[in-house]
């Protein structure tokens, strides 16, 4: 709820963050949002020794890719891709999906 009693949710915060501009008119924050994107796996760096470190995620791009989506067409595979992270990977896919992605 905003100060003028308007209903708001996470999507409003995400939109405000993406659209925020600095004094120079350029985007204030480095945030890209990809719609219709199913994360399939977390990539870990295991070569450096010590604990594995998450360095990116694999994804598939396309509509209705999730297995439980009733609109999904059998055999339809999205366009694969990979995004890498220099600092950290945050998985916020919900209670059960987040765990599923991490152990895939």
Give the contacts of 88 (CB within 8 A, at least 6 positions apart): 54
Shortest distance in whole angstroms from residue 78 CB to ligand FAD: 11
Residues 29-48 that bind ligand FAD (CB under 6 A): 38-39
As given in the structure block, the two tokens for residue 34 are 């990809």
How many angstroms separate the CA atoms of 49 and 54, rounded? 13
Token couple for 5: 């009693």
Which residue in 92, 99, 102, 103 binds ligand FAD (CB under 6 A)? 92
Least gap, CB of 96 to ligand FAD (angstroms): 9
Among candidate residues 37, 40, 18, the one with its CA nearest the CA of residue 29: 18
What's the CA gap between 18 and 12, in Å, rounded? 10
Q: Closest CB to ligand FAD among 22 and 103? A: 103
Interface region with ligand FAD, contact rule CB under 6 A, candidates 24-32, 47-55, 69-77, 93-101: 93-101
Interacting residues toward ligand FAD by CB under 6 A: 38-39, 92-94, 97, 101
């Amino acid at each position: 709820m905003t100060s003028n009693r308007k209903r708001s949710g996470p999507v409003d915060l995400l939109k405000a963050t993406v659209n925020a501009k600095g004094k120079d008119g350029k985007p204030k924050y480095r945030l890209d949002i990809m719609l219709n994107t199913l994360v399939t796996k977390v990539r870990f760096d295991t070569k450096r020794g010590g604990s594995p470190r998450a360095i990116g995620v694999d994804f598939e791009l396309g509509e209705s890719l999730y297995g439980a989506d009733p609109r999904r067409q059998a055999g339809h595979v999205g366009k694969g891709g990979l995004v890498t992270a220099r600092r950290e990977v945050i998985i916020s896919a919900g209670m059960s999906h987040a765990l599923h992605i991490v152990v895939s």
